[in-house]
Structure 1
Amino acid sequence: MGYVPGRFDREGAEHMDRIAKTVFAPVYPVLAEQILIRCGFSRGRCLDVGSGPGSLGIALAQASDLAVTLLDSSPDMLAIAEENVREAGLSDRVSPLRGDVHDIPLPAGSVDLVVSRGSVFFWEDLSRAFSEIYRVLAPGGRTYVGGGFGTAELRDAVAAAMTKENADWKSFRDKNLGPDNRERVAGVLADLGLHHRIINDDSGLWVVIERGR
């Protein structure tokens, strides 16, 4: 979507919310199901990093018993996310938190599952960001961080719609999900010594980090 965490005023946040509720709407339930299956969590505490309007975090809460924290550095985006949470009837399990992935305002070992869709491509310091994510992971915790659309069919449908609005959108997507980015992320994780695996299939490009018990 071209989302740059923290760089949205109210108008930009509302524009992103509209796209999330239209073009991208079918993507989030599919991703939520894949995350729950691949990471093996249905309860506990989840952190959605760079959550935007909260679409993925809300989908995860709807499909599980997870308590979800929506982390974003844009107050306008978080205000919209809070409205979406309230409309979904999930205010008891989904809450907004203003903050940045490079300095997550949560205690060490406090989160069972960290997810993020799309924001990783805009993190200024991958090493520091992944170190912070690992710090807040509880023993036995996992991540599902990256970008994608869940299936090839959804990927192609989103691309068809988005390129009508922005002719450069597809090349932007391909760059983010391409081999150069995959190798860059893998190199950072290897340097940090984090036990991980990278999923690169029709669902997208995802990093699963596992913290030992």
Structure 2
Amino acid sequence: MSEIKMNVSEFDNIAREVFAPVYPVIAEQIKQKTGISVGKCLDIGCGGGYLGIALARATELYVYLADRSTEMLEIAGGNISAAGLTARMQTLFADVQKIPLPDQSIDLIVSRGSIFFWEDRQKAFEEIYRVLAPGGVAYIGGGFGTAELKKRIAARMEKENKNWRAMMNKNIGENAPEAYVKILQNTKIPFFEVNRDEAGLWIVIRGSKDEM
């Protein structure tokens, strides 16, 4: 497993400053749409841990912040301490293609934005399903919480990156759901859906009801 290479400082600054309003909104949406507020949660490709921290604040979940960048995990660890959540959160060095957790051990798996960097999405989905508990839910994708937040953030990001709109169209545009459906159909995951609206795109995977 190789550690991802990126400009960690720049990436975290964007997440912490530009995207800050998004995380509590998405955390509340995840809580409402999955109905899961207790048990164990895994935030994959957590970066600085902002979504996971928002979920910990909104629920009683124990949250693992997983990333394959040790630099990001150092930032995430500092953010956990600053939030006063060390009793209910920890960092985990992990790649989504080989998650170092037992089968059926996680009640809620989330990830915002990391899917676009996964090297083997089919294998990643299969790993997510492996560690997902019966009755558990995975909520994976890329979204902005609301259309207004998306509009505001896009306007700011386009000033910094002329390719921003094209990248968003590729990742969460009208044609994106079909690509994810095809990948998921190649797995043995029986319960999944791909939802796209004006605020983003989310893939929902449910733990097998047959095992409940």
TM-score w.r.t. the length of structure 2 is 0.94
Of 195-204 and 38-47, the range deviating more from structure 2: 195-204
Question: SS at the partner of 2:18?
Answer: coil
Task: Determine the structure 2 residue equivalent to 1:115.
Answer: 110
Task: Determine the structure 2 residue equivalent to 1:101.
Answer: 96
User: For residue 164 of structure 2, what is the amino acid of its counterpart?
Assistant: W
Matched, 1:176 2:174: no
Deviation at 1:19, TM superposition (A): 1.4
* Structure 1 unpaired stretches of 5+: none
Question: What is the CA–CA distance in structure 1 between the aligned matches of 2:174 and 2:118, rounded to whole Å?
Answer: 18
Question: What is the CA–CA distance in structure 2 between the aligned matches of 1:84 and 1:203, rounded to whole Å?
Answer: 26
162, 177, 186: which one aligns with 1:191: 186
Task: Determine the structure 1 residue equivalent to 2:143.
Answer: 148
111, 123, 128: which one aligns with 2:123: 128
Task: Determine the structure 2 residue equivalent to 1:201.
Answer: 197
Question: What is the CA–CA distance in structure 2 between the aligned matches of 1:89 and 1:206, rounded to whole Å?
Answer: 29
Deviation at 1:126, TM superposition (A): 1.1
Of 140-149 and 167-176, the range deviating more from structure 2: 167-176
C-alpha contact (below 8 Å) 1:116/1:144 kept by paired residues: yes
C-alpha contact (below 8 Å) 1:48/1:70 kept by paired residues: yes
Identity over aligned residues, as a percent? 51
Question: SS at the partner of 1:192?
Answer: coil
Measured on the aligned residues, the alpha-carbon RMSD in Å equals: 1.2
Once the two structures are superposed, residues 69-92 of structure 1 have per-residue CA deviations (whole angstroms, 9 ceiling, x without a partner) of: 011000001000101111111111
User: For residue 97 of structure 2, what is the amino acid of its counterpart?
Assistant: H
TM-score w.r.t. the length of structure 1 is 0.93
Deviation at 1:175, TM superposition (A): 1.0
Task: Determine the structure 2 residue equivalent to 1:210.
Answer: 206
Matched, 1:90 2:85: yes
C-alpha contact (below 8 Å) 1:14/1:80 kept by paired residues: no
Question: What is the CA–CA distance in structure 1 between the aligned matches of 2:133 and 2:199, rounded to whole Å?
Answer: 26
Question: What is the CA–CA distance in structure 1 between the aligned matches of 2:49 and 2:111, rounded to whole Å?
Answer: 11
Deviation at 1:196, TM superposition (A): 0.8
Task: Determine the structure 2 residue equivalent to 1:22.
Answer: 17
Task: Determine the structure 2 residue equivalent to 1:6.
Answer: 4
Task: Determine the structure 1 residue equivalent to 2:152.
Answer: 157
Question: What is the CA–CA distance in structure 1 between the aligned matches of 2:188 and 2:5, rounded to whole Å?
Answer: 31
Once the two structures are superposed, residues 93-134 of structure 1 have per-residue CA deviations (whole angstroms, 9 ceiling, x without a partner) of: 111000100000111111001000011111111110000000
C-alpha contact (below 8 Å) 2:177/2:195 kept by paired residues: no
Question: What is the CA–CA distance in structure 2 between the aligned matches of 1:180 and 1:123, rounded to whole Å?
Answer: 18
Deviation at 1:62, TM superposition (A): 0.8
C-alpha contact (below 8 Å) 2:147/2:199 kept by paired residues: yes
Q: Stretches of 4+ moved more than 4 A in 1?
A: none
Deviation at 1:179, TM superposition (A): 3.2
Question: What is the CA–CA distance in structure 2 between the aligned matches of 1:179 and 1:173, rounded to whole Å?
Answer: 10
